[in-house]
Chain A
């Protein structure tokens, strides 16, 4: 009986993912265990934080403040550059992509399976996480959401044996695929010929092909290039930029996969910063976002990155929407 039942389950899930509901239900029973196992680690961390000295804290605070200032100034420039980029793209009659939203998730220190690089974080479908979302840290791409459960989600790292990520050499735009090696500090690039223009030290960024990862995030640096004379492909290895074994905080990203359609005006109101959107806007410019939210399930916990069209109720638009009904 049990054998038949479990075989049936195995076959069903292997063929297609129809059992998500059952898994979700069971995960509600099991997920507290993950938090329980994580508790001692968190306790130790909390304790070490609360006994750290005043001087050390002050020093860290100073350092962070400086860092923040630098980043802020860089962002100022970034805003201007992005505007310019949008204008130029509009001149070229090209579409552009909206920014991304991120959600910060914390790693739970549990060990799922020794041979797979899958980690668990403390945010799940309750926060709107869904499978195949890209996950980043401060330095680069970490992986993608593999399975989202209500209270936790499982994230497959880019170094997992079953993971591959489309990348591009930043220097010359050479496209290839980086495959996980099963070791936390190594990626393989098995599909490049021996005469490919790639050198140790080259930065690999996401190419945006495949649609899972947004374009332009750093993935790894090439550290070894060995051409194998008797084989068609070279032996290239790279080191991931993200600190896969050290980070406790990860960022889950919502990227707008559909590009914003062609714009006719040089400065569209979509990209206006939130602070200026309270000024009266021409009513025909953006009637739609005021009525329905762009990303409804994630609106509460998500920290907006600079350029997101927030569902701000514009005084100039809402009455008009009522008048339509």
Chain B
């Protein structure tokens, strides 16, 4: 029980680090590339320990991200919980894939999330967005091996099962 508790603390900690990375003061040019770290780590944890991290966590951290980045309430919550739902449905199959092949799936997950955000933004106030709006999807896909390795290290170090 105690061990379980610690493991969960680790998960929360990585997610908080991801949130810090989300608002880190990158230079303006790099900021457009900044991938959605919170979603990436949520995807990892939902694939690795689906019985621990579920839609509820995705939804909660989505709300926190909404507050953190000053968005309309619930848009990240919506995007994250939908993506995590898909991940939970497919986690058994996805675990068998090599990292590169997972990357393709991650690409579609990030694309879905960004698409939802785009739709909500458009409903809120139609504004023209540059093509660079979609860049985080690509950088996020390229960052997936990194996230995977780091979080796997964290998970195995604490033996979170």
Known contacts A23-B67, A113-B71, A6 near B23 by CB under 8 Å: no
Contact check, A5 vs B59: say whether CB atoms are below 8 A apart: yes
Q: CB of A56 within 8 A of chain B?
A: no
Contact check, A2 vs B67: say whether CB atoms are below 8 A apart: no
Contact check, B78 vs A26: say whether CB atoms are below 8 A apart: no
Give 1 or 0 for each of A146-171: 1 = CB within 8 Å of chain B CB. Answer: 11000000100000011000000000
Contact check, B78 vs A111: say whether CB atoms are below 8 A apart: no
Chain A residue with the shortest CB-CB distance to B85: A2
Q: CB of A60 within 8 A of chain B?
A: no
Q: CB of A41 within 8 A of chain B?
A: yes
Contact check, B78 vs A161: say whether CB atoms are below 8 A apart: no
Q: CB of A118 within 8 A of chain B?
A: yes
Give 1 or 0 for each of B120-131: 1 = CB within 8 Å of chain A CB. Answer: 100111010110
User: Which size class do A's interface residues fall under?
Assistant: 35 or more
Identify 7 residue pairs between A and B in the complex whose beta-carbon atoms are under 8 Å apart, listed by A's number.
A8-B74, A9-B74, A10-B75, A30-B19, A113-B70, A115-B129, A162-B127
**One of A31-39, A133-141, A210-218, A252-260 at the interface:** A31-39
Q: A residues within 8 Å of B by Cβ?
A: 1-3, 5-10, 12-14, 19, 22-23, 26-27, 29-30, 33-34, 36-38, 41, 109-115, 118, 146-147, 154, 161-162
Q: B residues within 8 Å of A by Cβ?
A: 16, 19-20, 23-26, 28, 31-32, 34, 55-56, 58-59, 62-64, 67-75, 77-78, 81-82, 85, 120, 123-125, 127, 129-130, 132-133
- Report the bound CA distance from A262 to B31 in whole Å: 53
Contact check, B62 vs A14: say whether CB atoms are below 8 A apart: no
- Report the bound CA distance from A113 to B118 in whole Å: 13
Contact check, B69 vs A7: say whether CB atoms are below 8 A apart: no
Contact check, A112 vs B70: say whether CB atoms are below 8 A apart: yes
Known contacts A26-B64, A30-B64, A162-B127, A110 near B59 by CB under 8 Å: no
Tell me whether chain A's interface is mostly helix, strand or loop, or mixed. helix
- Minimum CB–CB distance from B74 to chain A (whole Å) comes to 3
Contact check, A26 vs B34: say whether CB atoms are below 8 A apart: no
- Report the bound CA distance from A222 to B129 in whole Å: 26
Q: Which residues of B contact A147 (CB under 8 A)?
A: 70
**How many Cβ-Cβ contacts under 8 Å join chain A to chain B?**
101
Q: Which residues of A contact B64 (CB under 8 A)?
A: 26, 29-30
Set B25, B85, B133: member contacting A37, Cβ < 8 A: B25
Q: Which residues of B contact A13 (CB under 8 A)?
A: 72-74
Contact check, A2 vs B125: say whether CB atoms are below 8 A apart: no
Q: Which residues of A contact B23 (CB under 8 A)?
A: 33-34, 37, 110-112
Chain A residue with the shortest CB-CB distance to B79: A6
Sorted nearest first, the 5 A-B pairs with minimum C-beta distance are A9-B74, A2-B81, A6-B78, A6-B74, A109-B25
Set A9, A12, A27, A146: member contacting B77, Cβ < 8 A: A9
Contact check, A9 vs B59: say whether CB atoms are below 8 A apart: no
Q: Which residues of A contact B74 (CB under 8 A)?
A: 5-10, 13
Contact check, B56 vs A115: say whether CB atoms are below 8 A apart: no
Chain A residue with the shortest CB-CB distance to B121: A115
Known contacts A26-B64, A30-B68, A6 near B25 by CB under 8 Å: no
- Report the bound CA distance from A147 to B69 in whole Å: 12
Q: Which residues of A contact B20 (CB under 8 A)?
A: 33, 36-37
Chain B residue with the shortest CB-CB distance to A146: B70
- Minimum CB–CB distance from A240 to chain B (whole Å) comes to 16
Chain A residue with the shortest CB-CB distance to B21: A37
Chain A residue with the shortest CB-CB distance to B136: A114
- Report the bound CA distance from A294 to B47 in whole Å: 58
